[in-house]
Amino acid sequence: MEIRYKDKRLERALIAVNAIAATVVVASFVLLFGFDQPLLPAWILYTVQVILLCVFVTEKMVRLFNSVSRIEFWRANWFEIPLLLALVIAVLGAGRRYSPDGKEAAIVRHFAVGVYLVVQVVSKLCRTSVNLAASGKNPTQTLIASFLVLIISGAGLLMLPKASAPEKPGLSFVDALFTATSATCVTGLIVKDTGQDFSEMGQVVILTLIQLGGLGIVVFGAVFALLLGQALSLREEAAMQDLLSASTLSRIGNMIAFIFVGTIVIEAIGAVSLFHMWAGDVQHRWFCSVFHSISAFCNAGFSLFSSSFVEYSRSWQVYGVVCPLIILGGLGFSVLYDLANITADRAKRLCKKCFSRQYRFAMQAPKRMRLQTKIVLTVSVSLVILGTLAILLFERYAAGPSASPGGSIAERAAGALFQSITARTAGFNTVNISAMSASSRFILILLMFVGGSPGSTAGGIKTVTLAVVVITAVAALRKRREVEMFRRSVRIVVVGRAVTVTLLFVAVLFAGTLVLSVTENSRLFTMSEIMFEAASALGTVGLTTGITPLLTTAGKLTIIAMMLIGRLGPLTLLAALTFNLKPAKYNYPDEAIMVG
């Protein structure tokens, strides 16, 4: 909702004050909790936070009187009243419940003030990201900028002494940048052990980067705005339509709400289902469950265990919980939204058919599955089955003579199934990747290159792109003028985009492999290992043969660039660079040429 103000100059001054105040809030929290001991006396930092609270309250009052419509202002900022009431109740109630001068009362007051400041800063940042996306400029540039800001901020937090485990040296800038990029781009490649080298604070920072990177910070901002009851303007809805690739503006609000609610529900169910998989106290088990549930659904591949899920390869939760989380996260929110609508429609029709006689004779046509959903489901199932069979075959007949049998047939089949699923950008593993045959690793490279589906947390060229390219070749062989799938024609623009994405991914993969072969020349890595690492980074997968921590600084920077390109997509970067180019309004005469 766009609020109109009387004095534009005053509004610009308030925006500047908000930016400065938000920066000071972040700095105060870093100084308080980022070091073993606060760099400044705690009472000074708490006093600064109280002053900042007064600044935010004053800013809201000034904006209220400066707004053209106060009703419009309160509709957009209704949450301020209950938030302030909760703050007052917490501050006053702490003195009554505990001794007014006691330590417990002070902790409650500081916590209440901190929560208020965090909500203020988060709401302003999220709203700003949505406003920038709707500013009339290229929305993809806002998306790229948001990822860069998130990565740099995450790297700064991971470099804090409190983010590293006790008795562990702090991270260098390159290692922190690598970890933050891997988490934000939901890749999973690591140069430091997540469970051993990071404290709980560092692990929480990584988990936050995974969640924000998986959803996309701009989408998260829209979600936060909708949760606070702030309706999106027409321009903001148009920007979100571009970022979400939604077909109509009318679906934007429902789509964003579905993304948020669906993510929370799926991750919560996954966390509860994983709870009994771990050993240790209740708090540790819950943290492991939440961490791996979010990491699996966002296809991040980060694990709190050095060997990923190798030690849990016989646990049913790995195949019954983690695999479905990876698949659901890789299908794409638009496909999940379509499947949810179809399921709800079928359930509604069944209920009406059972309990309403009139409805039996006035049946309406059921909702049909969209072409996008059909393609995604068909290609996803095909890749899982073919990948599983190929890995089983090559591990049986192409493995070296020293390779171990790998257990019973059921265990080998389960391992092949898991690796076929996780290679679609999840990054977990139940077997040692370096011990797999060269043929199996090549199959994994192909799966990593394809990746997940459009609109998902996964990377790669996407399943729909693969389907369009393959069907285009089939149409040429059948001498068909149009590309057809499921009795529907595919637009020539979509075909061109699919071919462009595939060629760009191939070019980036070969270029990255070439650069790594130069930077890692002294490390004696094989070309197979280097190409596997490059494909894993570009596909935002996270599988590795074990060479990631051994990379040179130049090699790490190369992988960082490939992870970012893989998460955003080469076509997104190209669109951001060529946004202002206008299409030509003329055509040249055609002439026949020979190909093939």
Distance CA 41, CA 68 (A): 43
**Can you give the pLDDT at residue 515?**
93
Instruction: Tell me phi and psi for residue 214, to 5 degrees.
Output: -65, -45
In a domain, 415, yes or no: yes
- Those residues with Cβ within 8 angstroms of residue 280's Cβ, 6 or more apart along the chain or in another chain: 288
The first and second tokens of residue 237, run together, are 């809805």
Contact 468, 483 (CB under 8 A): yes
In a domain, 502, yes or no: yes
pTM of the shown model: 0.84
The residue segments making up the domain with residue 440 are 369-577
In a domain, 386, yes or no: yes
**Can you give the pLDDT at residue 350?**
76
Distance CA 43, CA 594 (A): 78
- Cα 372–chain centre separation: 21
Number of domains in the chain: 1
In a domain, 559, yes or no: yes
Q: What does pLDDT average to in each consecutive run of 10 residues of the chain (596 residues)?
A: 74 86 88 81 87 88 80 74 82 67 75 84 73 60 78 90 84 91 88 88 90 70 53 51 50 71 89 88 90 90 86 86 89 84 82 67 71 90 92 76 58 87 84 85 91 81 90 87 84 84 90 92 85 91 87 92 84 59 71 72
In a domain, 508, yes or no: yes
**Can you give the pLDDT at residue 128?**
72
Residue 146's nearest CA partner among 567, 570, 578 is 567
What is the 8-class DSSP label of residue 483? Answer: E
The first and second tokens of residue 586, run together, are 């003329």
Largest pairwise CA distance in the chain: 90
Distance CA 596, CA 243 (A): 37
Residue 423's nearest CA partner among 460, 381, 474 is 460
Q: Across-strand partners of 121?
A: none
- For the chain, the C-alpha Rg in angstroms (whole number) is 26
Distance CA 434, CA 431 (A): 9
In a domain, 556, yes or no: yes
SS3 103: helix
In a domain, 181, yes or no: no
Distance CA 573, CA 568 (A): 7
Distance CA 135, CA 471 (A): 38
In a domain, 483, yes or no: yes
**Can you give the pLDDT at residue 78?**
73
**Can you give the pLDDT at residue 222?**
55
